[in-house]
A and B are shown apart, each in its own frame.
Chain A
Amino acid sequence: MGREIEPQKSQQQVSYTVEQLVAVNPYNPDILPDLENYVNEQVASQTYSLDANLCLLRLYQFEPERLSTQIVARILVKALMAMPAPDFSLCLFLIPERVQMEQPFKTLIVLSHYLETGGFRLFWDEAAKSRHIVDAVPGFEQAIQAYAVHVLSLTYQKVPRSVLAEAINIEGLSLDKFLEQRVADRGWVIEKGQGGGQVIALPKTEFNHPELKKNSGDAVPLDHVTRIFPILS
């Protein structure tokens, strides 16, 4: 989900140059091949750069005959992995309608819809049917699982095991291993639920524990108070 670009040692030169290009000279049709290579690089090295991808989509918009569906599909999958950020919609805004009506874009849009509306079961089913699209990008499953856990942490204080399993598409022994790891790393606690099954208590954040929410409603910023200093003195 991270947006930071950690240039790999071997590719340090190239990614540095591409980022510079996007910052300094983005409205230039000649950088299109560089940007396409950069997308492939992002896929290979599991990095992500929204600005570069948007730049490329813009150039495709200016010259639709150079549009490469494979590259665009990869960009969209990368954007899905960046959830909960709205990157996927941002990319869709730049892709012409008639392109969006073709495969694999139709499937990707459906997948995005499921993710946006919390339909994880439906999402994993659909993803299983379209392995060829999502397997092209390594790290996809982990990213979506991270997003699922994020949404669950927003919503639940204590989540039933079945719901968790459905959301991250892991069952049985692998789920146990996953839970063990989380208990060790992130402080999850496994308890006994009311229905008899297991219930996982997720770490307390301000979103699922309202008492932790910092009440900034009545805070008075310092510069407002400085206005009355002359009066007070």
Chain B
Amino acid sequence: MTESSDITGGVRCLYILNIIFAIIFGLLALLLGSTLLTLGSSCSVPLFWCYEIAAWGLVILYGGTAFFLRRKAAVIIDEGDQGSRNLGLEMLEANTLAVAVTPDVERRVTFKSWMGSSLLSSDDEDELDTFVDAPYRTNASANRQRVYSESRAMAANYEYDEAAGHYDDQAAALRQQEVGYDPNFVPDSVKSFVVHLYRHIREKNVYEIHQMYETSFQTLSERLFKDTPWPSVDAVVHYVDNDHVFCLLYREMWFRHLYARLSPTLKQRIDSWDNYCSLFQVVLHGVVNMQLPNQWLWDMVDEFVYQFQSFCQYRAKMKNKTEQEIALLRQFDQAWNVYGVLNFLQALVEKSAIIQILEQEKQGIEQFTATDGYDYSGGSNVLKVLGYFSMIGLLRVHCLLGDYHTGLKCLHPIDISQQGVYTSVIGSHIATIYHYGFASLMLRRYVDGIREFNKILLYIYKTKQYHQKSPQYEQILKKNEQMYALLAICLSFCPQMKLVDEAVNAQLREKYGEKMGKLQRYDDEAYGDKLSRRQRYADEAFGIYDELFSYACPKFITPSAPSFDEPLVNYNQDAYRLQLKLFLSEVRQQELLVGARTFLKVYSTISLGKLANYLDVDESTLRMTLMTYKHKTHAVDSDGKIISNADVDFYIDDDMIRVVNSKPVKRYGDFFLRQIVKLEGVINDVDRIKVESAN
């Protein structure tokens, strides 16, 4: 509306000016005409008539102009409204979804348009302050932090904290009140932020939207809203023509800020769920005519899954819940229901037809990755890109539930061996690879995990300096550390050093070198109490695996609603404990192999009896161990084929073990290719110099 209010503002200006002139000349015509008559010269009468005609002519001219201007202003207002109806954040009502969505979650979408503009509406164009780049606060109150300590106490303290202090619902509400938060007070900078953001969204200026979203929002939050929420949506709604979709977007940002800086109450969690429902309904149901930056769309999906995870953790802590909270939980049992969450993500994937688009892109029919998901033909990228990111969202949710196989299946349409839209946002790139790697680890596909972790860790190593100013820097570092831990675990199960890049290897040695040494330690000394020493090493290794896993794993959730009739206990740790237990049973099985591996590296041929002697076991146990080794190192990959990932291989001939001598393969081919390209570059440079000096 600001454009047409610009125009109408100017037009109204002219209109008023013309009226004033008309009045002035009218007065002149009436009053001064008589003085001319009193002059008494011979030409006073014709002079008088000339003067009168001129004056009244001008009056008519100005009056007419004013009248036409007034009509024009009204037409522009009408047209402006027509325009906003067509070009704005529009939603048409469409048929209901083909996919079953729980009925409570359906929302009717209404579109309100606000008519009319104020006289001489001021455009706060130049009130945008120059935002000072506030240094990012590395404050422990960021609730997604979990400090990693070296001791086992950390593993025992797998506690999900909402904020630095243990806030429960009442304390959170109290705190918000204490800081003097007035939801209706809108500072000027917020007002101009909102107005400009709305305008940019209307005009589809993706770059400006991105700037405002990334930088301005963060800076304003730092400066004005460190401990309080942003102004409520009702306070800002009239600056943006009561636009429904913008309100949903604003509320999404509002809740995200709340979750990041403060501790949400139960009511707020439920409201956030409602907001997401409405927002996704709008996107799914209609033609949302806007282009948003990928960063924002990824953050929406990421935050959606995060709030779901947070809610499940919150709900599982039943011990200290008040009567009020339990009543609310019972009443709003559809909020953050696992079916709702999964079905929304699935619906986004299906409605956007993103899988077909990716398929067609491989055949060259569609353009998606090439344009980074943006639509250059005037359409909207929101549904497509949300569908794309929802695949990653589904992977994440399935990992949280412990269903790794289905998670990887959901990710399958995205080819992670290549660049794609998922690499356009660093947050999504890291989240994808982290969960892919973790799922591969749990599926025992260690080679896949190592390969992907290696790639992403190298990428982060090279590019992390460019993200230092970004608000996600802390998250990036945290995930980096976690992935190193997971890489350490994978490499201990499947020593394949040639898959790991030099830089990554160096970092890994620095962080976990000592621990990894302990994991592979096997005592083959002949002195003293071998068995108890070996047991001690085994226990130590066991402890280290426990610690690494607990540090690096996602925050698993129990998706089912609590039964309110049983005595109230905290069961938020149950899911994590189960996954840890199953992981550790795998560790126990792998630990049997440490001894065999140590000896096989040394010998080229050894009889079963002798090896059994060295390992202090009997022959049949040794046969079992060797078969276990073979079984564990020959994993079943995603296509069902068996591939070997053993670093040391052997075969048994009756009762002789023959170890395979595998020399490390020097990759000459790659080396030569690189050098050829480099040499060509050097020759081109030299040629250029010669040409220049010849001139």
Contact = CB atoms under 8 A, between A and B. Distances in A.
Interface string B594-632: 000000000000000000000000001001111110111
A208 to B, nearest CB: 4
Nearest to B341: A27
A64 B634 contact: no
Given A96-B578, A118-B631, A160-B654, A155 B401 contact: no
A148 B90 CA distance: 63
A155 B630 contact: yes
B560 A90 contact: no
Interface in A89-144: 89-90, 92-94, 96-97, 113, 116-119, 121
Contact of B342 (A27, A30, A96, A193): A27
Contacts, number: 161
Contacts of B627: 117-118, 151-152, 154-155
Interface residues of B, number: 62
Interface stretch (B123-131, B479-487, B664-672): B664-672
B670 A151 contact: no
Interface stretch (B16-24, B214-222, B285-293, B645-653): B645-653
B401 A193 contact: no
Contact of A84 (B581, B626, B631, B666): B631
Given A25-B99, A27-B342, A151-B631, A51 B651 contact: no
Contacts of B159: none
B449 interface: no
B559 interface: yes
B409 interface: yes
Interface in B331-345: 338-339, 342-343
A195 interface: yes
A195 to B, nearest CB: 7
A25 B676 contact: no
Contact of B339 (A62, A97, A220): A62
Interface stretch (A10-18, A70-78, A221-229): A221-229
A137 B667 CA distance: 50
B99 to A, nearest CB: 6
Contacts of A174: none
A54 B406 CA distance: 8
Interface string A205-218: 00111100001011
Given A27-B343, A195-B655, A97 B581 contact: yes
Contacts of A152: 627
B578 A97 contact: yes
B662 to A, nearest CB: 8
B579 A155 contact: no
Contacts of B402: 61, 93-94
Given A30-B100, A155-B651, 4 more contacts: A89-B444, A94-B402, A218-B666, A227-B677
Interface of A: 3, 25-30, 50-51, 54-55, 57-58, 61-64, 84-86, 89-90, 92-94, 96-97, 113, 116-119, 121, 151-152, 154-160, 163, 193-195, 199, 207-210, 215, 217-220, 224-225, 227-228, 231
For the complex of A and B, list the 10 residue pairs with the smallest distance between their C-beta atoms, beginning with the closest. Answer: A217-B665, A118-B627, A220-B669, A93-B402, A27-B342, A118-B624, A210-B660, A154-B630, A208-B651, A231-B680
Interface of B: 99-100, 338-339, 342-343, 346, 401-406, 409, 442-444, 559-560, 574, 577-579, 581-582, 585-586, 589, 592, 620, 623-628, 630-632, 634, 636, 640, 642, 644, 649, 651-655, 660, 662, 665-670, 673, 676-677, 680
30 contacts: A25-B99, A27-B342, A28-B339, A29-B339, A54-B403, A54-B406, A58-B403, A58-B406, A61-B560, A86-B444, A89-B586, A90-B404, A92-B582, A93-B442, A97-B574, A113-B585, A117-B589, A118-B624, A118-B626, A154-B631, A155-B652, A159-B654, A160-B655, A195-B655, A207-B644, A207-B651, A210-B660, A218-B669, A220-B673, A231-B676
